[in-house]
Amino acid sequence: MSFQLPDFPWDSLAGAKARAKSHPDGFVDLSVGSPADPVAPSVRAALTAASDAHGYPVTAGTSQLREAITSALARDFELRAQELFPVIGAKEAIAWLPTLLGVREGDVVVIPRLAYPTYEVAAKLARAEVVRADHPDELPQLAKPPALWFLNSPANPHGAIARPSLLSEILAWTRANGTVLVSDECYLRFAWEGPAVSALHPSVAGDEPTGVIAVHSLSKIANLAGYRAGYIAGDPAVVRELLGLRRHAGMILPGPVQAAVAAALHDVGELDAQRERYRARRAALRPALAKAGFRVDHSEGGLYLWATRGEPATATVDWFAERGALVAPGSFYGLSGDQHVRVALTATDADIAEVVRRLGSVPVAGGLAR
């Protein structure tokens, strides 16, 4: 290969993980966003009922799945019917979007200053240059406009929620420059402090979603990380182009999973119950971090707390490891995260309670936990 991908960041946590696992009261992993709660019975029943899947699945999604996605978009985000199709998890979709959309060597892909690592990987797979910016005013002088711009709200890792006015400014700029805007909205259902708005909402995109697509995931909202299930919606021209390419490439969500996703999106009671589980974990963990001498920045939405002790992130990772917990250093997500750690809310209630207990036993001197 003529390009090199970044190292898989979590591999670098092996030492801290080993130390955390040696804690006498047990190990708690708050470094990744892998769901700890069970899949809803309605979803498992739908998967089982569709398990005699002897025919090829529909790349564009079954009529039942498409209707379920359309209904969920209208119910949860006040969106009109969109052109859409299911994907094999949001990560897969994001990783291959630049390549499928024709981004090539010499092109530029914009990603947030603090960003989910797969955005950079996606650009590098297409051999494109990466530029980090959160607003058009932050862009350097470029020989030509970016081919693609990734944005994320509520954001991973820091949980900031983008104001509709900011989304509108970015979309106006990308439309004026012929740049495709990709809005990663996997955490849109988890807005804790103020509303989170889709980039497809009429207040942002106007009457037509021209030049913008949104990526959604079932991993967090319905605990379907192991099912690898998500969907893309938005600009009909872009969505149809992607769908045609994915049909040729065999990028098809398995039929039983399509049935399970439709059931999950219709089971509003379970979706709401899962959201409330995360709300309760956040309500327990955030004040415990503050009492232990941490400052929590942003974190208005999403499933992580963006915490700092004003020291290098690696030192904070070690501090948590000594207490049997593993967190992710902010440097995984960009240089400006080098004094923060990302603390996940995706552990069980019991594990969150145990971390809160350990944080509560930390002596604090001069505002900094020892």
Predicted local confidence at residue 336, as pLDDT: 93
Predicted local confidence at residue 5, as pLDDT: 67
Cα separation, 196 vs 185, whole angstroms: 9
Farthest-apart Cα atoms in the chain, separation: 65
Sign of the dihedral through C-alpha 199, 263, 217, 38:
positive
Q: Can you tell me whether residue 150 is helix, strand or coil?
A: strand
Predicted local confidence at residue 365, as pLDDT: 53
Predicted local confidence at residue 262, as pLDDT: 98
- Could you give the C-alpha distances from 13 to 123, 266, 348, 370, in angstroms and in order? 25, 38, 21, 22
Predicted local confidence at residue 361, as pLDDT: 83
Residue 338 exposed, middle or buried by CB count within 10 Å (0-12, 13-18, 19+): middle
Predicted local confidence at residue 81, as pLDDT: 84
Predicted local confidence at residue 2, as pLDDT: 53
**Amino acid at residue number 129:** E
Q: What residues pair up with 84 in beta bridges, in sequence order?
A: 233
pLDDT tens for the chain, 370 residues: list them. 456 766 667 678 889 999 999 999 999 999 988 999 999 999 999 999 999 999 999 999 999 999 999 999 999 999 998 899 999 999 999 999 999 999 999 999 999 999 999 999 999 999 999 999 999 999 999 999 999 999 999 999 999 999 999 999 999 999 999 999 999 999 999 999 999 999 999 999 999 999 999 999 999 999 999 999 999 999 999 999 999 999 999 999 999 999 999 999 999 999 999 999 999 999 999 999 999 999 999 999 999 999 999 999 999 999 999 999 999 999 999 999 999 999 999 999 999 999 999 999 877 655 455 5
The residue length of the chain stands at: 370
Domains and their CATH numbers in the chain: 9-38+270-361 (3.90.1150.10), 52-267 (3.40.640.10)
- Cβ of 69: how many Cβ atoms within 10 Å? 23
